Amino acid sequence: MKDKKILAAYFSCTGTTARVANEVAKAAGADLFEIKPAQPYTAADLDWTVKGSRSSREMADEHFRPEIADRVGNMAEYGVVFVGFPIWWYVAPRIIQTFLESYDLSDKTVVPFFTSGGSGAGKTDAILHKCCPAAHFLPSIHLSVNVTAEGLKKQLSALKF
């Protein structure tokens, strides 16, 4: 881990994934980057129980890519990219696909991690791999909101990147 510059990028609407991403960054010695939508989500946008809500419409269209507000200016410097997100409809939110497709991640190691109230990763790995097929993907990691940097250090030391 020490010989490659590491980035922990994350998308979080409620702060849950942000807290976990901060712990990942501490444990991995990574720089932190928040993936922000160009148009922020409102509470109504995130109401998954409403079929017409913004998040419901985005997730219903596999080709939809929400615009991102900012870019990582020095992505070429990173050898390892952790990408964190909440699980929506058993997959990563579409903005994660936007993020991955926005960069040349060839020969980089991508480590997806997610938070969830109970859902698993579903088809997340298969979908994300298609976004940057020349990257080396590790399997998605489900992280609890209560995860600590100490606990993560042990878990991350077992990863091969």
The answer to whether the predicted template modeling score (pTM) of the entire model surpasses 0.85 is: yes
Q: How many domains is the chain built from?
A: 1
pLDDT beyond 90 at 107: yes
> Which domain covers residue 75, as residue numbers?
6-157
What is the predicted pLDDT for the residue at 78? Answer: 97
Residue 1 domain-assigned (yes or no): no
Question: What is the gyration radius of the CA atoms in the chain, in angstroms?
Answer: 15
Burial annotation 82-118 (CB, 10 A radius, 16+ → b, else e) = bbbbbbbeebbbbbbbbbbebbebeebbbbbbbbbee
What is the predicted pLDDT for the residue at 3? Answer: 67
Residue 53 domain-assigned (yes or no): yes
pLDDT, tens only, 115-148? 987 778 889 999 999 999 999 999 999 998 888 8
Report helix, strand or coil for 20. Answer: helix
Residue 109 domain-assigned (yes or no): yes
For residue 66, give the DSSP letter. Answer: P
Range with the lowest mean pLDDT among 50-54, 109-113, 135-139? 50-54
CATH code for position 47? 3.40.50.360
In this prediction, residues 41-56 reach a mean pLDDT of: 90
